[in-house]
Amino acid sequence: MIYLASKSPRRAELLKKINVEFLLLEAEIEENLVLEGSPAFNAEKLAKEKCSQGIKNAIATNLENYPVLAADTIVVMGNKIYGKPKSSDHAFAMLSELSGQVHEVITGVSVGAWDSKKADIATISVSTFVEFGDISAIELKEYSETDEPLDKAGAYAIQGYAEKFIKGIKGSYSNVVGLPLFEALKLLKQFQL
């Protein structure tokens, strides 16, 4: 059993697929990209903050001592980080820039546990490269006006309607969905799971 410190239904679905039992745990943080260091550093920093907040919440509410899993995904192209769009117009602008290009999806993953003295958190990041085909303005407008892009880094869901935009992928598919399963399980095993 673990705690999942995430509101993402996609992360929950991925864990269910591989039969990891979990309970959802509240771990609200301010998701501001500090833009210091590398993009991977930023994704790891946010994942670690979520994990740390999840541990604090578990301790404060006297929950059983299960490991806490948290993650944060960002999309990067060139020197620009694409977070979650604020509106359908913002989603349209993001997707217009990604159209016909290769971008990188980076997920920071943290797993933590605690005892009476301290918390122990392990963090990694995973990168996947995604190539979009050329997307017409009509397709971009139709997609950006759906609800799908609004809570997704880079304004798209690879497992949804946007899958038809993907020309190629190099790396972990589950990473692009929001949780690189192979690497997440490797981290969990460090905490005897």
33 pLDDT tier (thresholds 50, 70, 90): low
193 pLDDT tier (thresholds 50, 70, 90): low
Six token digits for residue 150: 């609004």
Where in the sequence is the domain holding 184, given as residue range(s)? 2-190
Instruction: State the Cα–Cα distance between residues 179 and 98, nearest whole angstrom.
Output: 21
The enclosing domain of 77 has a CATH number of 3.90.950.10
Catalytic residue among 72, 115, 120, 147: 72
- Residue 34 confidence (pLDDT): 59
Q: Is residue 86 exposed (0-12), middle (13-18) or buried (19+ Cβ within 10 Å)?
A: exposed
Give which of 25, 50, 46, 27 is closest to 37, Cα–Cα.
46
**For this structure, is 72 an active site residue?**
yes
| Percent share of the chain, pLDDT over 90 | 81
- Residue 53 confidence (pLDDT): 94
- Total number of domains in the chain: 1
- Residue 76 confidence (pLDDT): 96
Whole-number average pLDDT of the chain: 92
Query: Crossing angle, helix 88-98 and helix 137-144, to 10 degrees?
Result: 140
Residue pLDDT, tens place only, 139-167: 999 999 999 999 899 999 999 999 999 99
